[in-house]
Amino acid sequence: MRNYDVAVVGGGPVGSTFARQMAEKGFEVAILEKKKEIGVPLQCAGLLGKKIKKVNILPDEFIINPVHGAFLHSPENTVLSVSKEKPEAYVLDRVGYDKFLADLATDSGVDIFLNHRVEKVDSVSGVINLKNNPNAKISADVVVGADGHSSIVSGAFNPPAKSFQAAQYLIDVGEKRFQKDYVHLYVDSRVSPGFLWVIPLSETTARVGLFADTSYQQLNVILKELITKRSELKGATILKKYYGVIPKHDPQKQLVKDRVLLLGDAASQVKPTTGGGLIMGFVCAEIASRAASKALENENMELLMNYSKDYREQFKKELKVQLMVHKIFKSLSDSDLEYMFGKLKQEGAEDIISHYGDMDSQSPLIKEMFKRGIIFSILPKMLSWRISSLWK
């Protein structure tokens, strides 16, 4: 049985980033990945906030488009246009980027084992049993579950994760209709607190998708309806279809047990408002690598608890605000959403969103809208006071 300092279950971008960081600190690290190929199939919209460049390495070759703004569409197509002078986000080649991060881990000395499906992890001993080779076992002083929404590692000490379904099409509209640096976001009470998106890859092609608390069949119905209904999408040819699952953020999730810790989707480290989690996952990988290296250096696994503590300290307030926004959107009908868009346009919210909006931190924008009284004009009193209580 081969023993490592660290074994990471899952070779996605967060797992491979953590593995690389630990290898760079001088530890022996392995990644166990169930897929035959890293990054395939695509299971992400591939739109990441500008903070990506601060929290990880991102070569320009994986950026398809920089994004400067968005068109926000109400159910009846009241449109709010928001923009920034500098890129607010990037549309990425996620398959290529995931492979790049795995290659960086390998270059740093990480052993990556593809087609290795983990069946069971013993949190006390650190022994990992493999499904496709029951006689082969790997052990590690620290085991990291970075194995996604249906994490085997998390399932050993957490209840099953709740999740959203997500669907996405790659489309071609056959003529120049898209501004490459603007995305379209559509609200619809049938998918709230989720939403629909159009993310241009070129002037003629785009990723069109949505996530919602409903069946995959219903997602396809709503997506096809969007393509038929919206002028910018009419007549589109569907080139590829993708399907994914987004874990719901769970503030009660246990992240550390014995010598095991969880990262990324396995830890439900996703934004409640957008379902995105990569930037948060990269930040958490850094936090976890600090805690894990101290635990290994001091031969004291109790120090892994610093990871859980530091993660909650850094993200608790922002996630609390986003959970509140998530709950409010879930309660709104199409007519409520239409009223809200009309009021936001009337109150000059496009400029406010353009100035204070941030894909990864929504609390500054919500706080500013509260200070200006806009929250009280667009939401019923009870809901607006619930938001205002976050800053009392």
Question: Mean pLDDT of all residues in the chain?
Answer: 91
User: What whole-number distance in Å separates Cα of residue 88 and Cα of residue 358?
Assistant: 8
What pLDDT, on the 0 to 100 scale, is given for residue 380?
A: 56
362 has a pLDDT exceeding 90: no
92 has a pLDDT exceeding 80: yes
**pLDDT digits over 126-163, tens only?**
999 998 776 778 999 999 999 999 999 999 999 999 99
338: Cβ contacts below 8 Å, ≥ 6 apart: 74, 75, 76, 78
2-44+94-161+249-318 has which CATH code?
3.50.50.60
> Topology of 63-92+164-247 in CATH?
D-Amino Acid Oxidase; Chain A, domain 2 (3.30.9)
User: What whole-number distance in Å separates Cα of residue 219 and Cα of residue 191?
Assistant: 8
Of 58, 47, 73, which is closest to residue 233 (Cα–Cα)? 73
Least confident of 35-39, 61-65, 103-107, 201-205: 35-39
What pLDDT, on the 0 to 100 scale, is given for residue 283?
A: 97
382 has a pLDDT exceeding 70: no
DSSP state of 160: P
User: What whole-number distance in Å separates Cα of residue 384 and Cα of residue 367?
Assistant: 11
Work out the number of other CB atoms within 10 angstroms of the CB of residue 151: 26
Is the CB of residue 304 less than 8 Å from the CB of residue 292? yes
Task: Extract the tokens encoding 365.
Answer: 């924008």
Instruction: Answer yes or no: same fold for 2-44+94-161+249-318 and 63-92+164-247.
Output: no
385: Cβ contacts below 8 Å, ≥ 6 apart: none
Query: What is the full DSSP assignment across 99-130?
Result: HHHHHHHHHTT-EEETT--EEEE-TTT-EEEE
**pLDDT digits over 7-30, tens only?**
999 999 999 999 999 999 999 999
Residue 361, amino acid:
S
Is the CB of residue 197 less than 8 Å from the CB of residue 276? no
Task: Extract the tokens encoding 81.
Answer: 């246009």
**pLDDT digits over 252-310, tens only?**
999 999 999 999 999 999 998 888 899 999 999 999 999 999 999 999 999 999 999 99
Domain extents in the chain: 2-44+94-161+249-318, 63-92+164-247, 320-391
Average pLDDT over residues 193-208: 95
387 has a pLDDT exceeding 60: no
Of 207, 249, 202, which is closest to residue 226 (Cα–Cα)? 207
Q: What are phi and psi of 258, to 5 degrees?
A: 55, -110
Q: What are phi and psi of 184, to 5 degrees?
A: -110, 130
What pLDDT, on the 0 to 100 scale, is given for residue 391?
A: 41
What pLDDT, on the 0 to 100 scale, is given for residue 390?
A: 45
Of 165, 167, 191, 190, which is closest to residue 246 (Cα–Cα)? 165
In the chain, what's the furthest Cα-to-Cα distance?
A: 67
**pLDDT digits over 217-232, tens only?**
999 999 999 999 998 8
**């290898």: which residue's tokens?**
23
Tell me the angle at which helices 305-331 and 278-297 cross, rounded to the nearest 10 degrees: 160
**pLDDT digits over 319-356, tens only?**
988 888 888 888 889 998 998 899 889 888 889 888 88
Q: Is 58 buried (19+), middle (13-18) or exposed (0-12) by CB count in 10 A?
A: middle
What pLDDT, on the 0 to 100 scale, is given for residue 134?
A: 67
Is the CB of residue 280 less than 8 Å from the CB of residue 272? no
Identify the band that residue 110 occupies on the pLDDT scale cut at 50, 70 and 90. Answer: very high
Beta bridge partners of 183: 70
384 has a pLDDT exceeding 90: no
Average pLDDT over residues 79-101: 94
Work out the number of other CB atoms within 10 angstroms of the CB of residue 308: 19
What pLDDT, on the 0 to 100 scale, is given for residue 379?
A: 65
Helix (H) / strand (E) element for 280: namely helix 278-297
What pLDDT, on the 0 to 100 scale, is given for residue 221?
A: 96
Task: Extract the tokens encoding 48.
Answer: 């990441």
H, E, C per residue of 187-249: CCCCCCCCCEEEEECCCCEEEEEEEECCCHHHHHHHHHHHHHHCCCCCCCEEEEEEEEEEECC
